[in-house]
Structure 1
Amino acid sequence: MNEIALPTQEEARALTDRIKIAVEGTWQLIREAYISRTWAVLGYDTWDAYCNAEFGNTRLKLPREERQEVVASLRDSGLSTRAIAAATGTDQKTVRNDLADTGEEFSSPVVGVDGKTYTVTRAPEVLNAELVDEPARPEPPKQKRRPLPEALNDAGRDLTRAAERLARLTEDDRFAKNRETTHHQVPELLGALEHTTRLVTAMNLPAAEASEEARRWWATSLHKISDALADVANSIQKEQ
């Protein structure tokens, strides 16, 4: 029997980063599919039916520790316990237990199957039911938010790390052979670029108090990025 050639440490790290990025992207897409009611557009009567028919047994089974993080993230995005159970291939009791362990069960509103947003104030045992219109109830006191500069710094560091991981993958000697497999990531990457552009625009850099050197560097970097993206866009249009 031929021995399996072990990857180098660099190859092992690159593969692991690719898996992380792919998994993170999966849950982002699931959130988007639920919130946008993609299942209804495709003719399914329920979110459960959509998940079962389209994904079946291909849903990723996660260890408890990772599952709790994913479940909490989906709940924070507005998915009900029933929707999360269907998406993750678990039962509602497991989802509720995971949420109870993380304290997320009633921490944020739920987007119902009708596309409307509801404040969850019901007892856990009735969360199985489809959400229906009900009189507005007083919202619980809002939790104290983190200072915005602190939250922005953390988000910026996360974005930088993710971008660096992606850039390292382009330097992998196997990237050229696997280029075609990267194209399904384009919508997510363009979405990330759009979000970043909104942030840069909101920062109002022209009015910022900064040195001439800093302003010149900002402008040069933005032009460089803009030109590179424009070249890609022009090349795509020429191939049409």
Structure 2
Amino acid sequence: MNDIALPTHDEARALTDRIKIAAEGTWQLIREAYISRTWAVLGYDTWDAYCTAEFGETRLRLPREERQEVVASLRDSGLSARAISAATGVSEPTVRRDLAGASFDAPVIGRDGKTYTVTRETEVVDAEIVDEPVRPEPPKVKRRPLPEAFTDAGRDLTRAAERLARLTEDDRFAKNRENTHHQVPELLGALEHTARLVTAMNLPAAEASEEARRWWATSLHKISDALADVANSIEKEQ
């Protein structure tokens, strides 16, 4: 048995490119045959009958990794899921799964040559728009009561802030202060979110004692003044 002569790298690349071009050309011809209703001119009642009689087992089988791309391309050209199935040999349910969740601007061309606008809930089969099987809606996720979720989130925020504050008391903090500045955007973002939260709580309209309301106001002023001092110091150093 003679050894097979291996092609050069350039020859192998050229052959591979020719295969790609030939495969793409096949799908272009299929699109043209469907859109031009070549099957009807040859006396076939349906596209399905045309594909089966003329091509049968010679239909080009799609590799799994390329199937979704080719199926989407054919759908963009106006072929319905049923027409794509007949042309490719891929089962119609598989074609529908490949198309599920995607939106296409191109209308579907029916057996009568007319175009039909297709929604996510309908598909065109032989020029008739038919409903797909109704899929049950997924069960709604039960949400936690808001007060309970709010309380837990507030505790998490307090614990995180306390951990950061304790780090400033670490004897190594002064030497590593410069290494903390990269966290300023995240910390300012957290402060901004907290400010939005406090605003959304509408504390001026809250039912609370005068003592509690004075404490809220005093604390907010204290925080505001401390942040204003930092901002003013930054501006002076510019």
Scaled by the length of structure 1, what TM-score is found?
Answer: 0.51
- Contact 1:110–1:117 (8 Å) recurs in 2: yes
Matched with 2:195 is none
Matched with 1:114 is 112
Matched with 2:125 is 129
Compute the displacement of 1:62 (Å). 1.6
Distance in 1 (CA, whole Å) between partners of 2:61 and 2:128 is 31
Matched, 1:45 2:41: no
After superposition, what is the alpha-carbon deviation per residue over 1:15-39, rounded to whole angstroms, capped at 9, x for unaligned? 0111011011100000000000000
Task: Identify the structure with bigger relative contact order (alpha carbons < 8 Å, sequence gap 6+).
Answer: 1
Distance in 2 (CA, whole Å) between partners of 1:122 and 1:11 is 46
After superposition, what is the alpha-carbon deviation per residue over 1:49-99, rounded to whole angstroms, capped at 9, x for unaligned? 000111111111122221111100000011000000000011110101111
AA aligned to 2:116 is Y
Compute the displacement of 1:107 (Å). 4.1
Matched with 1:12 is 12
3-state SS in 2 of match to 1:61:
coil
- Contact 2:116–2:124 (8 Å) recurs in 1: no
1:141-152 equivalence runs, <5 A: none
Computed over aligned residues only, the root mean square deviation of the Cα atoms, in angstroms, reads 1.9
Change (3 A) 1:6 1:61: same
AA aligned to 1:111 is I
Distance in 1 (CA, whole Å) between partners of 2:21 and 2:55 is 20
Distance in 1 (CA, whole Å) between partners of 2:125 and 2:30 is 21
After superposition, what is the alpha-carbon deviation per residue over 1:129-187, rounded to whole angstroms, capped at 9, x for unaligned? 322389xxxxxxxxxxxxxxxxxxxxxxxxxxxxxxxxxxxxxxxxxxxxxxxxxxxxx
Distance in 2 (CA, whole Å) between partners of 1:47 and 1:81 is 12
Q: Which runs of 5+ in 1 are unaligned?
A: 135-240
Compute the displacement of 1:128 (Å). 6.8
Change (3 A) 1:122 1:16: closer
Distance in 1 (CA, whole Å) between partners of 2:99 and 2:128 is 22
3-state SS in 2 of match to 1:11:
helix
Matched with 2:155 is none
- Contact 1:48–1:83 (8 Å) recurs in 2: yes
Q: Which runs of 5+ in 2 are unaligned?
A: 131-238
| Identity score, percent | 76
1:1-240 equivalence runs, <5 A: 1-100=1-100, 103-104=102-103, 106-121=104-119, 123=121, 127=123, 129-132=125-128
Report the number of matched residues.
130
3-state SS in 2 of match to 1:60:
coil
